Amino acid sequence: MSKYIYRPLDKPDAEFRLLRIRKDPLTDQPQCSLQKYSLETCPDYTALSYTWGDSTPTHNVAVDGADVQIRQNLSDFLHAYTTESWGMADIERPVFYWIDQICIDQEDPIERSEQVRIMNKIYKQAKTVLIWLGCDPEMIEAARRRRDEEDDDAVTAMILATKFTGC
């Protein structure tokens, strides 16, 4: 597959891209598409909060028939999302995600800078913010300790979302 070519945002301080994730029925691999929206008129979406991990992209994900390079932790999320029941429960209706590593053209420093400036709006406007701890057992244990100390419902939900066999 060829490398994905980002179409420029017309107003990078007021627009952003949302990712739609589907599972390819033949390969079970994530198949994604990107669509541009105004912050004012976008559909409901989930913003993903996660650690990027190692600085070298190690995987490709198909976006509109082309490859976008992503890092291991995001690849683990996409794998879990497309293979676990918590991810694909509503596959028949459009589900949009904002994932900075894919939704922002990482090779365009001007766009990247503008999008970083509006990240607070992007996260604030999201219907849901999903925290992905990844597959690191130390991260999961730290979250469990915090939950036990704080009795925090948000942390509990985050830990429950990590119970899958994808890692």
Could you report the per-residue pLDDT of 93-120, keeping only the tens digit for each?
558 999 999 999 999 999 999 999 999 9
The verdict on 118 and 157 lying in the same domain is no
The verdict on 45 and 74 lying in the same domain is yes
The verdict on 33 and 86 lying in the same domain is yes
The residue among 21, 97, 103, 92 whose CA lies nearest residue 70 is 103
8-state DSSP, 101: H
The verdict on 140 and 124 lying in the same domain is no
The verdict on 102 and 152 lying in the same domain is no
Are the beta carbons of 5 and 66 closer than 8 angstroms? yes
Q: How many CB atoms lie within 10 A of CB 62?
A: 18
Boundaries of domain holding 155:
136-167
CA-CA distance, 47 to 56, in Å (whole number)? Answer: 23
CA-CA distance, 6 to 79, in Å (whole number)? Answer: 23
Report residue 88 as tokens: 């694909």
Are the beta carbons of 8 and 111 closer than 8 angstroms? yes
The residue-averaged pLDDT of 154-162 equals 49
Question: pLDDT digit string (tens) for 5-47?
Answer: 999 999 988 999 999 988 777 877 788 999 999 999 999 999 9
Are the beta carbons of 17 and 39 closer than 8 angstroms? no
The verdict on 141 and 59 lying in the same domain is no
The vertex-100 CA angle with 79 and 123, nearest 5°, equals 110
Residue 166 binned pLDDT confidence (cut-offs 50, 70, 90): very low
Q: Is residue 5 part of a domain?
A: no
The verdict on 128 and 153 lying in the same domain is no
**Total structural domains within the chain:** 2
The verdict on 54 and 106 lying in the same domain is yes
Question: pLDDT digit string (tens) for 39-91?
Answer: 999 999 999 988 777 777 789 999 999 999 999 888 888 887 777 655 554 45
Residue 10's H or E segment, with its range, is: none
The verdict on 125 and 157 lying in the same domain is no
The verdict on 20 and 64 lying in the same domain is yes
φ, ψ (nearest 5 deg) of residue 125: -80, -15
φ, ψ (nearest 5 deg) of residue 83: -115, -15
